Amino acid sequence: MKIKAQIAMVMNLDKCIGCHTCSVTCKNVWTSREGVEYVWFNNVEAKPGPGYPIDWEDQKRYKGGWKLAKKGKVDLVQGSRFKILTDLFANPYLPSINRYYEPFTFNLSVLRDSKQCKTVPTARPYSLITGKLMDIKYGPNWEDDLGGPFKNRKSDPNLQDMDQKGMEEFERSFMYYLPRICEHCLHPACLAACPSGAIYKREKDGIVLIDQDKCRGWRECVSACPFKKTYFNWRRQRSEKCIFCFPLIESGLPTTCSHSCVGRIRYLGVMLYDEDKIATSVATENPQDLYEAQLEVFLNPNDPQVYAEALNQGITYEYLEAAKQSPVYKMTKEWKLAFPLHPEFRTFPMVWYIPPLSPVLQEINKAESSDVYVANVADMRIPIKYIANMLTAGNEKLVVEALEKLIALRRRKRQQTVEGVDNPDVPQELGLTAEQYEEMYRYLAIANYEDRFVVPTTSYKDDKDMFALRSEGGYEYPDGNPNEWNAFGGL
């Protein structure tokens, strides 16, 4: 058993309000430079919809992730290492700029300097790539709040095998928000596909990074990543991706997107896992069993034997103590509320999602019980099949169980606060105790800072200049001049 620790994230989709605060703060910190105008390390999509880039979930088009091979092993969907080398100069699976969107800006001087006239002056958009006037045809969240006709959203692969008749009508329409960052996978396809070996996974916290000195801009990582969260900087000729704000993580602080989240939907914590199990677990034959296979990789930090062995293998005391208080472990392994995004890609993502509930019922049916203010899973507007296609490889039973737990929590708190019941009934079939429901309430509803973010300060065995480390998170400019400042105070 080879024990490793990783900083992981859970997002509660039931609380995301689609305000895009996380996207804007991440954009201002990390991708406000020339060459990455079209890049959003963090983006929020309205589902159903093709997403950003368009149809990123369609691996028949992009060939991302892993596929099951013979003898209990997996291969890149993109092909063998020799196949990747043959595509270096003509990659047929690379998304074009139009699949993202052509970045644009406006000439505001036209509005500022225009002379008085009878018509209102107009600032037309022009491309940041070509510098020419353009018509805006797409953006990072073009279908926000179900914008446009349903035919523009029906290419969403999660709608496959579903009865789509009538979904364009208001009565059958549904939507929710899906925030996305790099998954910092346990079994990253981008790492395996990189011809120059520039992508690596950090030993101390599992964050996946790109060595900017080794990267040669082959862009095979862009194709191999099934989540399309590796991008190409056309100005620097290098690939870039979310770095999980590691300068903040090393200081025991949450990521920028987590700290700025208005809805308090993000949780950060340490997960312990057995690296020796990954190779066999990702080769699980049935895609619907991959979720359970990934859960088996995780280790219980409260187990004295696991704790002692992890300490013996070099996991620091701070990380082990944080793992015992990890909200991510509680939501994924203990309560089983959160699920990985598209486990069938076989990358073992480490950003997990709590499925959303439908809105509370507004009309009271007198023939039913007194808890009609809380919707039943069977009456939800969002189809269970759609959520299952996204989070459990189509296993609807797992999603139903998680939603039943969330509904049971709502009913319990309503009985306590509205009906005055001191000891509400606890549904035994869901496998949770009354104490666990109270803990769920504190984590999900109140969501205090100390409960959401349990990030230990990184320990270094060698003497290092921590102030200098804080300055290493930026990117150099193409002319070789270093940044004169960065978001974390380094010079």
Q: What tens digit of pLDDT does each residue of 282-310 get? A: 999 999 999 999 999 999 999 999 999 99
What tens digit of pLDDT does each residue of 412-431 get?
Answer: 998 999 888 888 888 888 99
Taking every pair of Cα atoms in the chain, the longest distance, rounded to a whole number of angstroms, is: 80
Angstrom distance (rounded) from CA 189 to CA 258: 25
- Please give the mean pLDDT across all residues of the chain: 88
Phi, psi for 46 (deg, rounded to 5): -90, 120
Tokens of 408: 């049971």
Segment 361-375 shows an average pLDDT of 50
Owning domain of residue 327: 263-452
Q: What's the token pair of residue 125?
A: 């958009």
What do you get for the CA distance between the two ends of the chain, in Å?
A: 42
Mean pLDDT of 346-351: 97
Token pair of 260 as six digits: 């700025």
Q: Which pLDDT score, from 0 to 100, does residue 465 have? A: 59
The string of pLDDT tens digits covering residues 4-52 is 999 999 999 999 999 999 999 999 999 988 899 999 999 999 999 999 9
**In angstroms, what CA-CA distances link 151 with 15, 147, 155, 174, 382?**
27, 11, 8, 14, 18
Alpha-carbon span 370 to 249, nearest angstrom: 46
State the Cα–Cα distance between residues 468 and 485, nearest whole angstrom. Answer: 12
Q: What percent of the chain has pLDDT over 90?
A: 65
384 belongs to a structural domain: yes
In a domain, 488, yes or no: no
Q: What distances in angstroms separate CA 398 from CA 194, 281, 340, 389, one per listed residue?
A: 35, 19, 12, 11
Q: How far is CA 7 from CA 263, 299, 320, 335, 349, in A?
A: 21, 14, 12, 19, 12
Rounded-to-integer distance, Cα 91 and Cα 232, Å: 14
Domain annotation covers residue 311: yes
More confident residue, 284 or 361: 284
What local confidence, expressed as pLDDT, does residue 290 receive?
A: 96
The reply to whether 75 falls in a domain is no
The per-residue b/e assignment along 185-214, b for 16 or more CB within 10 angstroms, e otherwise, is: bbbbbbbbbbeeebbebbebbbbbbbeeee
Angle at 260 between CA 256 and CA 262, to 5 degrees: 150
Task: Confirm whether 373 is domain-assigned.
Answer: yes
Confidence of residue 388 (pLDDT cuts 50, 70, 90): very high
Cα dist from 469 to 238, 270, 424, 458, whole Å: 22, 22, 52, 12
pLDDT at 363: 47
pLDDT grade for 228, boundaries at 50, 70 and 90 = very high
Span 115-138, pLDDT tens digits: 888 888 888 899 988 889 999 988
Residues belonging to the chain: 491
Backbone angles phi, psi at 437, to 5 degrees: -65, -40
> Stretch 470-490: mean pLDDT, rounded?
51
pLDDT bucket at 378, cuts 50 / 70 / 90? confident
**Of 38, 12, 154, residue with least CA distance to 104:** 38
* Closest alpha carbon to 381 in 65, 36, 48, 111: 48
**Tens of pLDDT, residues 237-259:** 999 999 999 999 999 999 999 99
CA–CA separation, 239 vs 245, rounded Å? 17
Instruction: Please report the sign of the dihedral spanned by the C-alpha atoms of residue 471, residue 473, residue 478, residue 484.
Output: negative
Q: With helix as H, strand as E and coil as C, how does the chain read?
A: CCEEEEEEEEEECCCCCCCCHHHHHHHHHHCCCCCCCCCCCCEEEEECCCCCCCCCCCHHHHCCCEEECCCCCEEECCCCHHHHHHCCCCCCCCCCHHHHCCCEEECCHHHHHCCCCCCCCCCCEEECCCCCECCCCCCCCCCHHHCCCHHHCCCCHHHCCCCCCCCCCHHHCCCEEEEECCCCCCCCHHHHHCCCCCEEECCCCCCEEECCCCCCCCCHHHHHCCCCCEEEECCCCEEEECCCCHHHHCCCCCCHHHHHCCCCCEEEEEEEEEHHHHHHHCCCCCHHHHHHHHHHHEECCCCHHHHHHHHHCCCCHHHHHHHHCCHHHHHHHHCCCCEECCHHHCCCCCEEEECCCCCCCCCCCCCCCCCCCCCCHHHCCCCHHHHHHHHCCCCHHHHHHHHHHHHHHHHHHHHHHCCCCCCCCCCHHHCCCHHHHHHHHHHHHHCCHHHHECCCCCCCCCCCCHHHHHCCCCCCCCCCCCCCCCCCCCC
Structural domain includes residue 138: no
Residue 481 is assigned to a structural domain of this protein? no
Q: List, for residues 59-107, the tens digit of each pLDDT value.
A: 999 999 999 988 789 999 998 888 888 888 888 899 999 999 999 999 8
How many domains are contained in the chain? Answer: 1
Band of pLDDT at residue 478, cut at 50, 70 and 90: low
Residue 234 lies in a domain: no
The two tokens of residue 59 are 């691996």
Between CA 237 and CA 427 the distance in angstroms is 56
Q: What is the pTM of this model?
A: 0.90
Q: What CATH number should be reported for the domain holding residue 356?
A: 3.30.70.20
**Cβ-count burial of 240 within 10 angstroms (0-12 exposed, 13-18 middle, 19+ buried)?**
buried
Mean pLDDT of 349-368: 72
The CA–CA distances, whole Å, from 153 to 43, 283, 460 equal 17, 32, 48
